Amino acid sequence: MAIKIIKDKTIKKKTTKKTAKKKSTSKSTRYVEMAMPYNTISISRRTNSKKKKSSKKLVLKFFMLVFIVCLCFSSVYAYNHLKIYLCSLERFFIDTIEITGCNNVAESEIKKLIPFEVGESSFAVNLGRAEKELKEFSAEIKDISIYRTNWGKKIVVSLTERLPEVFINDGDKKLGLDFDNKPFNLRGNMFSMAVPTLIFNNDDERKELLTFYYKIKNKLGNLTSQLTEIKYGEVEDIVLTINNKTILYWGLPQDNKTNEKIAKLNRVLEKLSWKTDNIEYIDLSFIDGNKNKVFVGRSVVTEEEKA
């Protein structure tokens, strides 16, 4: 009998362990089942709050855009009405037009070209458009500035005329050319200016010779006023003429040789007497080949020429 009792006890112990495991597993599953609905509710709440915030931002942006558009329209409307009001006031009517800077261009010609006149409202005049029209109409005008003074009653037209740096030949007609490479008609005292004449075959040569002269002009000093002609030679070297008499063979237009050639040229001119010696040519082209030589040729003077 004692043995049976022991077996029953062992059986009871085994059954109690299994039931304890089952109870623990059932508790954990219940906990998970209770936790899952809470997580889904919290996630849905977050997404809803984000949607509400984004929709609020869109609404604010829309109202800001509408506000900006309305502000722009209202400012344009106010500006137009203010301009109309100012144009109607006699205190802003033009009573004087002053033109400055006319040396070769006639002042009466500029007045005819101006798109406004005395008696008009100063605020009704588009000064920027007037400047552009004058520049396009007349090639002799290099720059122009139009501005108001005395509360708009006075309009000042300030001109800067083009001056020829060189002459060019257009058929039988002589034109001026400045360093902007823009041809224009000669006026007044421009015909008697001491500037050289460019001889060229096409527009590319004209631009190249003008660029070359622009680089050496200020370095030549007093010799600039004695230059009478600039052209290309037979081998694409540059040839200059001094006082319509002496030929200056410059050589190739190399920038790194310019200062050396001008220094050698000035030394030669200091030694030579232009009044007594008839110089036919001065050759600087050998400096291009790193040869420290300058050749000077003198013309033969007959007894009749001396007399």
Three-state SS annotation for 95-146: CEEEEECCCCCCHHHHHHHCCCCCCCEHHHCCHHHHHHHHHHHCCCEEEEEE
| The 154-161 sheet, strands edge to edge | 96-100, 154-161, 141-149
In contact, 178 and 163? CB cutoff 8 Å: yes
Count of other CB atoms within 10 angstroms of residue 155: 25
Does the domain at residues 90-161 carry the CATH identifier 3.40.50.980? no
Say which amino acid occupies 163.
L
Query: In 3D, which of 86, 92, 94 has the Cα closest to residue 111?
Result: 94
pLDDT at position 67 is: 85
In angstroms, rounded to a whole number, what is the distance separating the alpha carbons of residues 237 and 208?
Answer: 12
Q: What is the DSSP letter of 253?
A: -
Say which amino acid occupies 33.
E
In contact, 172 and 143? CB cutoff 8 Å: no
Considering the four listed CATH numbers 3.30.2130.30, 3.20.10.10, 3.40.50.11690, 3.40.50.720, the one that applies to the domain covering 166-306 is 3.40.50.11690
The pLDDT tens digits along the chain (307 residues) read: 444 444 444 444 444 444 444 444 444 444 444 444 545 555 556 666 666 667 777 888 888 888 898 888 778 777 666 666 666 667 778 899 999 998 888 888 888 888 888 988 887 888 999 898 888 888 889 999 999 998 888 999 999 999 999 999 999 999 999 999 999 999 888 999 999 999 999 999 999 999 999 999 999 988 999 999 999 998 889 999 999 989 999 999 988 999 999 999 988 888 876 554 678 999 999 998 888 889 998 765 444 444 3
Rounded to 10 degrees, what is the CA torsion of 134, 135, 137, 139?
140
3-state secondary structure 255-290: HHHHHHHHHHHHHHHHHCCCCCCCEEEEECHHHHHC
Domain borders along the chain are: 42-88, 90-161, 166-306
In angstroms, rounded to a whole number, what is the distance separating the alpha carbons of residues 25 and 209?
Answer: 102
Query: In 3D, which of 137, 155, 136, 116 has the Cα closest to residue 145?
Result: 155
Burial of 20 per CB tally in 10 Å (0-12, 13-18, 19+): exposed
Three-class SS of residue 84? helix
Helix (H) or strand (E) holding 40: helix 2-87
**Quick one: CA dihedral 71, 73, 74, 75, positive or negative?**
positive
In angstroms, rounded to a whole number, what is the distance separating the alpha carbons of residues 219 and 179?
Answer: 16
Fold match between 90-161 and 166-306?
no
**pTM above threshold 0.75:** no
